[in-house]
Amino acid sequence: MLRAVFLYALAALLVLLAGCTDAGPAGREAAGNAPIGGPSGTELAERQVLHRGNGAEPQSLDPHKSEGVPESNLQRDLYEGLTIDDPELGVVPGAAESWEISPDGTVYTFRMRANGRWSNGDPVTAHDFAYGLRRSVDPATLSNYSIMLRPILNAEKVIAGELPPEALGVRAIDDLTLEVTLEAPTPYFLGVLNHSASYPVHRGTVEKYGDRWARPDRLVSNGAYRLKDWVMQSHIVLERNPYYWDNENTTIEEVWFYPIENQSIELQRYRADALDMTYELPFRQLAWLRENLADDIRISEYLGIYYFGLNVTRPPFQDNVALRRALNLAIDRELLTRQVTNAGEIPAYGYVPAAAYYEQVVPEWADWTQEERLAEARRLYEEAGYSPDEPLTVQILYNTHENHRTIAVAIASMWQDALGIETELVNQEWKVYLETRRTKQDTQVFRAGWIGDYNDAYNFLEILHSESGLNDPGWNNPRYDALLEAASREIDLERRAQLMHQAEQLVLEELPVIPVYFYVTKRLVKPWVGNYRPHVLDHVQTKDLKILKH
Amino acid sequence: MIRYALSRFLGAIPTLLILVALAFFMIRAAPGGPFDSEKALPPEIEANLRAAYHLDEPLVQQFGRYLLNLARGDFGPSFQYKDYSVTELIAAGFPVSLRLGGSAMILALLLGVTAGTMAALRQNSRTDHAVMAVSMTGISIPNFVMAPLLILLFAVTLGWLPAGGIGDGSPRYLVLPVISLALPQIAYISRLTRGSMIEVLRSNFIRTARAQGLPERTIILRHALKPALLPVVSYLGPASAAVITGSVVIEQIFGVPGLGRYFVQGALNRDYTLVMGVVVFYGALIILFNLLVDLVYAWLDPKVKYA
């Protein structure tokens, strides 16, 4: 009897397992050796469904209440700003079909598309955008990214609660004409208009459901896709918005976003064909990937900088530029990017990545050999008052992560070898690390990174403005502040670029931050995902992609 | 029995209150707050956010407010997942966790008790050694090692089963997570059953039953199994807790949208209300499990009386 029960249990398990062999993991196995996209290479698959890894669970699908990259990826498919940032063409018309800018660069007049529609069929009007922008800066919305709209007239005062949202420099002249007045000419302003803080929201829906409108069966959006399903911690499904103005040029019918935080787990799902695109690559498995999935690896430039911040409000870095320079020169960035990060990251000699309309600063020492750099580093180290007998002891703070640890260890050993510096590595969990960094009490050297919100050098430079809430090195240079303020008011693009260039030079002379490398985006993309175009801000919109026959 | 159950139930309230207080003050003591991010918020906005979530009030007042809301069954809004309340998140996640954990426990009981009994009946035979060797392996290999191995074999290499997620909700998505979660429990339960079965089989009443010439099957099923299961039943309380906490890892690896993931993510995001909600809910659940186990125990063993 017992044996019978045992056998029954085993049999049940086997049946359970066997019952699952009817199809591949997602029912999408590659069919034999047929070339992808058929003989022409462009033939489309019958099922146009895309499965994307998307990092973390989004905080919200309300564009005014979220800030992370996973949220942006989803919202870029759901909503459409006045402009779109195209990988090849730069800023192109989105919900607005055209615009005019006043000669002094402070008044933008947008012409809306007459055929713009919300996902419920309602027309998208200038009033919707005016409502959206006001809602975004309204303190009652509790938006954590409204500061992006700071260039708009009175935005800062509205955010601070000093003026009502109606005072924002935004006006719908008629259904199809929107006028936006700025505080000062802001050359990157069109780029801000494809950020989620500037997306429109459907007034009727928001007013009907209050805080709980961004859910399936409620959410109304104006982008190429609309929300179909949302299972927290599992997946979000978007389906094509049939009312979208460019629906006929959209190919993919449905896109599934999966919140998978662990890169190894994501890789396994990708290998089992449950994902067509990953969010990231596991850093440690890069060599294996190069050997086994070389064709699927997509690495491209990303507008971001990985750097080490130095707390210049306290010793040893306070008023000790020589020491900061010595530390900067003792890092062998070529070796680091080749041997440690190893995914094509670009050694950073300057601070600002390759942003639009901007010529990066290349310091003189970038052309030196590593020996020359080390000789100068040693000289500066001694000038700063240290020697191998009386070495500097310094702490490097980083947020707990395998990659950051590896990089910190590598840099610590470079400093040790070149100058005899003794380092102590301190890792803290993310929120603790942020607080430690911000208080500027205990930090000496801290790892940091910054990814551009829009494609402009100012984005990176403003962090180091003395009044910036992000200035964790605590650097305060009035000349730098003045240069940035001049740049923010300059209409002439070339002159503006020069002002920013001078500002970056100041950063590199005084080094409140030590640039390490410029980021790259790295992910796996199945060969049957057609028209995948890398973008410097990683704006990959599903509406541009297609699934080829495979 | 009802009186016993009721008094146990009331006795659980102070335990739960202590748990709520501990969890509340511990999560608040952690450095960093729910609204800290790399992009610093303008002070006005931060003040607005803190006011909206009552974080600007004195801590004791916040605790009082929390208890009052809790008494009304309101766990508050999630700080991180702004489109949902904590109650909604628990309501969505718990059935998934229950399905996963429940299936794992049933599988573990079925296989564990059967294997353990077989091993006991054939003590020191090959079957016995094989069962014990397999269960030792099950206990030794942690499920965060076992789960990726299972995915590699059944999803990546053989392509029989999904690598994770819940897809369209079909049961095949649960096969690997359930097995991963059940394996260590199968191992424990089979060892427990074996040990206690061997002991029971040596006792006088079994000898008497044999002397009466009863068939072996009747002896095992009608007389030996019930007392032999007592240690297994008392293990069920902690086992249910282990399955729930173990599911944190399994849910993460397989992308199963259960409650377990909120535990970890809530803590990392300093999502105070979410962490509290999950702790209180789990706490209540474990208390309930232990109560049920005691009741079943009393039913199985006539020597146990409701005091």
Give the whole-angstrom CA distance, residue A513 versus residue A311: 9
Residue B301 has pLDDT above 50, yes or no: yes
- Smallest Cβ–Cβ distance between B253 and the set A21, A29, A265 belongs to A265
Record: contact A6-B114, CB cut-off 8 A: yes
Q: How far is B46 from chain A (nearest CA, A)?
A: 8
Query: Chain B within 8 Å of A398 (Cβ-Cβ)?
Result: no
Record: contact B175-A57, CB cut-off 8 A: no
> Among all residues of chain B, which has the CA nearest to that of A157?
B44
Parallel, antiparallel, or unpaired: how do β-strands A225-231 and A235-240 relate? antiparallel
Q: What is the pLDDT of residues A450-471, one digit of tens each?
A: 999 888 999 999 999 998 888 9
Record: contact B39-A26, CB cut-off 8 A: no
Query: Chain B within 8 Å of A262 (Cβ-Cβ)?
Result: yes
Parallel, antiparallel, or unpaired: how do β-strands A90-93 and A513-524 relate? unpaired
**Residue B5: inside a domain:** no
Q: What is the pLDDT of residues B102-132, one digit of tens each?
A: 899 999 999 999 999 989 888 888 888 988 8
Give the closest residue to B241 by CA, choosing from B194, B208, B306, B290: B290
**Residue B80: inside a domain:** no
CATH of the domain at B199: 1.10.3720.10
Residue B298 has pLDDT above 90, yes or no: no
Record: contact B261-A233, CB cut-off 8 A: yes
Write out residues 107-146 of A within 8 Å (CB-CB) of B. 139-140, 142-146
Q: What is the pLDDT of residues A104-122, one digit of tens each?
A: 889 999 999 999 999 999 9
Residue A472 confidence (pLDDT) = 92
**Tokens for A431?**
């929120």
Give the closest residue to A94 by CA, choosing from A547, A543, A550, A545: A543
Q: Residue type for B130, please?
A: A
Q: Are A224 and A218 in contact (CB under 8 A)?
A: no
> Among all residues of chain B, which has the CA nearest to that of A210?
B83
* CA angle in degrees (0–180, nearest 5) for B135-B139-B141: 115
Superfamily grouping for domain A5-17+302-520: Dipeptide-binding Protein; Domain 3 (3.10.105.10)
Give the closest residue to A328 by CA, choosing from A208, A414, A203: A414
Give the whole-angstrom CA distance, residue B174 versus residue A425: 42
Q: What's the CATH fold of domain A31-57+215-299+522-547?
A: D-Maltodextrin-Binding Protein; domain 2 (3.40.190)
**List of chain A residues whose C-beta atoms are within 8 Å of the C-beta of residue B44:** 139, 159-161
Query: Chain B within 8 Å of A1 (Cβ-Cβ)?
Result: yes
**List of chain A residues whose C-beta atoms are within 8 Å of the C-beta of residue B217:** 1
**List of chain A residues whose C-beta atoms are within 8 Å of the C-beta of residue B80:** 59
Quick one: A98 exposed, middle or buried, by C-beta within 10 A (0-12, 13-18, 19+)? exposed
**Tokens for A272?**
């089992």
Quickly state the pLDDT bin for A515 (edges 50, 70, 90).
very high
Per-position DSSP letters for chain B, written without gaps between them:
-HHHHHHHHHHHHHHHHHHHHHHHHHHHHSSS-TT--SSPPPHHHHHHHHHHTTTTS-HHHHHHHHHHHHHTT---B-SSSTTSBHHHHHHHHHHHHHHHHHHHHHHHHHHHHHHHHHHHHTTTSHHHHHHHHHHHHHHHS-HHHHHHHHIIIIIIIS--S-SSS-TTS-THHHHHHHHHHHHHHHHHHHHHHHHHHHHHHTSHHHHHHHHTT--HHHIIIIIIHHHHTHHHHHHHHHHHHHHHHHHHHHHHHHT--SSHHHHHHHHHTT-HHHHHHHHHHHHHHHHHHHHHHHHHHHHH-TT----
Q: What is the pLDDT of residues B138-178, one digit of tens each?
A: 888 888 888 999 999 999 889 899 888 887 778 889 999 99
Record: contact B83-A147, CB cut-off 8 A: no
Q: Are B44 and A144 in contact (CB under 8 A)?
A: no
Q: What is the pLDDT of residues B40-61, one digit of tens each?
A: 777 888 888 888 888 889 999 9
Same CATH fold, A76-211 and A5-17+302-520? no
Using DSSP, state whether A523 is helix, strand or coil: strand
Residue B304 confidence (pLDDT) = 67
Q: What is the pLDDT of residues B217-255, one digit of tens each?
A: 888 888 888 888 888 888 887 787 768 766 788 888 898
- Smallest Cβ–Cβ distance between A60 and the set B36, B38, B82 belongs to B82
Residue B303 confidence (pLDDT) = 72
pTM of the predicted protein model: 0.88
> What is the residue extent of each domain of chain A?
5-17+302-520, 31-57+215-299+522-547, 76-211
Record: contact A470-B253, CB cut-off 8 A: no
Residue A32 confidence (pLDDT) = 54
Q: Are A153 and A182 in contact (CB under 8 A)?
A: yes
Q: How many percent of chain B have pLDDT more than 90?
A: 21
Using DSSP, state whether A145 is helix, strand or coil: coil
Residue A236 has pLDDT above 70, yes or no: yes
Residue A33 confidence (pLDDT) = 66
Query: Chain B within 8 Å of A160 (Cβ-Cβ)?
Result: yes
Q: What is the pLDDT of residues A250-290, one digit of tens each?
A: 999 999 999 998 888 999 999 999 999 999 988 788 899 99
Quick one: B58 exposed, middle or buried, by C-beta within 10 A (0-12, 13-18, 19+)? exposed
Residue A79 confidence (pLDDT) = 97
Q: How far is A506 from chain B (nearest CA, A)?
A: 23
Q: How far is B156 from chain A (nearest CA, A)?
A: 5
Region B258-273 average pLDDT: 86
Q: How many percent of chain A have pLDDT more than 70?
A: 94
Q: What is the pLDDT of residues A22-34, one digit of tens each?
A: 333 343 444 456 7
**List of chain B residues whose C-beta atoms are within 8 Å of the C-beta of residue A306:** none
Q: How many percent of chain A have pLDDT more than 90?
A: 74
Residue B245 confidence (pLDDT) = 63
- Smallest Cβ–Cβ distance between B172 and the set A3, A19, A261 belongs to A19
Give the whole-angstrom CA distance, residue A466 versus residue A481: 7
The per-residue pLDDT of chain B, averaged, comes to 86
Q: What is the pLDDT of residues A408-442, one digit of tens each?
A: 999 999 999 999 999 999 999 888 898 899 888 88
What's the residue count for chain B? 307
- Smallest Cβ–Cβ distance between B41 and the set A5, A144, A432 belongs to A144
Q: Are B216 and B224 in contact (CB under 8 A)?
A: no
Residue B238 confidence (pLDDT) = 75
Residue B179 belongs to what domain range?
A: 101-268
**List of chain B residues whose C-beta atoms are within 8 Å of the C-beta of residue A62:** 82-83
Residue B1 has pLDDT above 80, yes or no: no
User: Looking at residue A45, what DSSP letter applies?
Assistant: P
What is the CATH code for A76-211?
Answer: 3.90.76.10
**List of chain A residues whose C-beta atoms are within 8 Å of the C-beta of residue B39:** 67, 144-145, 470
Region A378-391 average pLDDT: 92
Between A and B, how many CB-CB pairs are < 8 A?
Answer: 185
Best probe of the A interface among B39, B53, B100, B256, by most A CBs < 10 A, is B39
User: Looking at residue A292, what DSSP letter applies?
Assistant: H
Give the closest residue to A295 by CA, choosing from A49, A26, A36: A36
Record: contact B118-A6, CB cut-off 8 A: yes
The per-residue pLDDT of chain A, averaged, comes to 90
How many folded domains does chain B comprise? Answer: 1
